[in-house]
């Protein structure tokens, strides 16, 4: 039997049992179930933003992902594979289902199969290889809803930063930026920009419905200036030995959110989370999975325990409360060099805040999570039970390799290990996917991406690739000097 074909789009309509994800039979169309599709190439906060706004329009959001082949034929090469892009979409708290291999031109039979009445998209235009609107058939059927596009970020912007080796996107102090004390423009423009940024952090911290309280957000200001901050000001570092209060400071609440609840283990993870790749997502998913396994051991999921949580709190909740510390741009750049991070702390933070595996975020987390810092985490201080030893997190997780730095000594997690709370996650399929590898993918196919950038009106991409090679050579020369500085501050 020949395959069924959508007469308008020309794509195949799978038979029952052939759809990439369930349901296999058509389901009734619901007004509050929406469809959104796209490439969603290396995931950034613009993608999360359009999903957030779409989710606010209904109770379910189905996300269609185009195949690598379809994207190449209509738009150009992808940076991330379909499998990697699926991982990113599934990790977004606002998505309810991911459908891979969705047609590039949106097909009404496809969205109807998954019970979606409407398709959402940003207010920019998406065209196929022939220059035609990808949503022309949906619009003709009156089943389209437009949401505002998230300004200031795009895949094209990020590729440009990689090729041109720019640092203009760095933020010196996120707190000052949000208060209108940093950035371009006059005072009024800075204040307005800062308020928009603060509003976006609050919005992305919403629960899965896009409206209720969700993730808690804090910023951290250390009592002492870090070695990274000193270096950024060109100040010489004089070894003073490790301070007993290293890591102490103040936590300033940014978004109220939902705090730790009865019985939850407090878990800490940290990093740069640059380009928030499938490597980061797989790590966070493994942390969640490990805590779920521990929950089963302590009968977290039995009917009696679940009923009590619902009775006491009005809803069920997971066995672990995961806190993510995000390093400042200066910290990431000090340890990685070149023009890393490719995303600034605001952009990286939004990616972490929107992730379904995270419950609290700390902007400006120190590179070394000392005992003093871990003991003063808001989640630790606010935990309703004192079950964790010495008022520390129950666990500090990290992967088997250090993604933020090429330096392995001194060990940033020495304090966590000394207290027996450090846990290393096993290797996973996306173990080597990080910002450096993504940049390497771009440079290895430089001509393709330069052509793509030229079509987008970006100038000077070719010169940037050569400059990046020179910067990489310079970075290796200064790495050992930085290692010596870190050893002097924290101890070898």
Q: Are the C-beta atoms of residues 108 and 66 closer than 8 Å to each other?
A: no
CA 108 vs CA 9, 34, 51, 126, 134: distances in Å = 9, 12, 20, 17, 12
Residue 190's H or E segment, with its range, is helix 187-204
> How far, in Å, CA of 215 to CA of 456, rounded?
36
Tokens for 32, please give them: 């509050």
pLDDT of residue 225: 73
Residue 310's H or E segment, with its range, is helix 303-313
Which of 52-56, 77-81, 125-129 has the largest mean confidence?
Answer: 52-56
Alpha-carbon Rg for the chain, nearest whole angstrom, is 23
Average pLDDT along the chain: 87
Closest C-alpha among 384, 387, 390 to residue 260: 384
CB-side neighbour CA atoms (13 Å) of 38: 21
Q: Which fold has domain 202-434?
A: Rossmann fold (3.40.50)
Which of 304-318, 402-416, 440-454 has the largest mean confidence?
Answer: 304-318
* Sequence-ordered strand ranges (E) for 87-241: 97-100, 116-122, 144-147, 216-222
> How far, in Å, CA of 291 to CA of 267, rounded?
9
Q: Where in the chain is the domain with CATH 3.40.50.620?
A: 4-151, 202-434
Specify the pairing of strand 422-424 against strand 265-271: unpaired
Q: Is the dihedral of CA 64, 70, 76, 77 positive or negative?
A: positive
Q: What is the pLDDT of residues 134-165, one digit of tens each?
A: 999 999 999 999 998 877 777 788 888 888 88
pLDDT of residue 76: 84
Question: Which percentage of the chain shows pLDDT scores above 70?
Answer: 85
pLDDT at 406 over 50: no
pTM of the complete model: 0.88
Any long-range contacts for 173-179 (C-beta under 8 Å, 24+ apart)? 174/219, 174/328, 174/345, 174/346, 174/349, 174/363, 174/364, 175/219, 175/221, 175/252, 175/364, 177/346
pLDDT of residue 398: 96
pLDDT of residue 124: 80
Q: What is the pLDDT of residues 410-467, one digit of tens each?
A: 789 999 999 999 999 999 999 999 999 999 998 888 877 776 666 666 555 455 555 5
> How far, in Å, CA of 308 to CA of 257, rounded?
22
CB-side neighbour CA atoms (13 Å) of 442: 31
- How much is the average pLDDT of 190-219? 97
CB-side neighbour CA atoms (13 Å) of 473: 4
> How far, in Å, CA of 303 to CA of 7, rounded?
50
Phi, psi of 97 (to 5 degrees): -160, 140
Q: Which fold has domain 4-151?
A: Rossmann fold (3.40.50)
Q: Is the dihedral of CA 350, 351, 357, 361 positive or negative?
A: negative
**Distance, CA of 422 to chain centre:** 23
């Amino acid at each position: 039997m020949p395959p069924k074909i959508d007469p308008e789009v020309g794509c195949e309509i799978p038979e029952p049992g052939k759809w990439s994800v369930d349901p296999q039979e058509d389901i009734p169309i619901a007004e509050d179930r929406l469809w959104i599709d796209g490439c969603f190439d290396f995931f950034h906060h613009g993608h999360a933003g359009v999903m957030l706004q779409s989710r606010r329009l209904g109770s379910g959001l189905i996300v269609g992902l185009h195949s690598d082949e379809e994207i190449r034929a209509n738009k150009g090469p992808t940076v991330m594979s379909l499998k990697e892009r699926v991982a990113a979409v599934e990790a977004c708290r606002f998505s309810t289902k991911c459908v891979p291999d969705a047609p590039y031109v949106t097909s009404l039979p496809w969205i109807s199969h998954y019970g979606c009445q409407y398709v959402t998209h940003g207010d920019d235009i998406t065209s196929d290889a022939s220059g035609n609107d990808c949503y022309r058939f949906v619009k003709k059927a009156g089943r389209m809803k437009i949401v505002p596009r998230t300004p200031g970020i795009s895949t094209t912007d990020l590729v440009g930063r990689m090729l041109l080796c720019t640092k203009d996107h760095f933020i010196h102090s996120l707190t000052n930026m949000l208060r209108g004390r940093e950035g371009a423009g006059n005072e009024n423009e800075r204040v307005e920009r800062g308020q928009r940024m603060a509003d976006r952090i609050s919005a992305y911290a919403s629960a899965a419905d896009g409206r209720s309280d969700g993730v808690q957000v804090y910023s951290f200001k250390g009592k002492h200036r870090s070695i990274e901050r000193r270096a950024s000001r060109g100040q010489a570092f004089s070894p003073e030995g490790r301070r007993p209060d290293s890591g102490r400071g103040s936590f300033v609440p940014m978004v109220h959110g939902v705090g730790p609840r009865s019985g939850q283990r407090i878990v800490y993870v940290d990093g740069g989370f640059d380009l928030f790749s499938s490597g980061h997502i797989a790590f966070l998913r493994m942390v969640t999975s490990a805590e779920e396994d521990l929950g089963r051991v302590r009968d977290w999921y039995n009917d009696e325990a679940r009923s009590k949580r619902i009775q006491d709190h009005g809803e069920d909740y997971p066995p672990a409360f995961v806190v993510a510390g995000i390093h400042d741009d200066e910290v990431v750049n000090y340890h990685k060099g070149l023009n890393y991070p490719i995303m600034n702390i605001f952009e990286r933070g939004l990616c972490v805040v929107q992730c379904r595996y995270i419950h609290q975020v700390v902007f400006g987390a120190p590179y070394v999570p000392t005992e003093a810092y871990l003991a003063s985490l808001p989640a630790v201080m606010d935990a309703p039970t004192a079950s964790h030893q010495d008022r520390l997190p129950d666990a500090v997780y990290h992967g088997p390799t250090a993604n933020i730095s090429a330096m392995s000594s001194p060990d940033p997690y020495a304090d966590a290990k000394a207290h027996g709370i450090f846990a290393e996650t096993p290797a996973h399929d996306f173990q080597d996917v990080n910002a450096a590898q993504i940049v390497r993918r771009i440079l290895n196919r430089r001509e393709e991406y330069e052509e793509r950038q030229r079509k987008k009106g970006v100038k000077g991409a070719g010169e940037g690739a050569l400059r990046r090679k020179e910067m990489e050579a310079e970075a290796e020369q200064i790495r050992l000097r930085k290692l010596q500085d870190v050893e002097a501050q924290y101890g070898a």
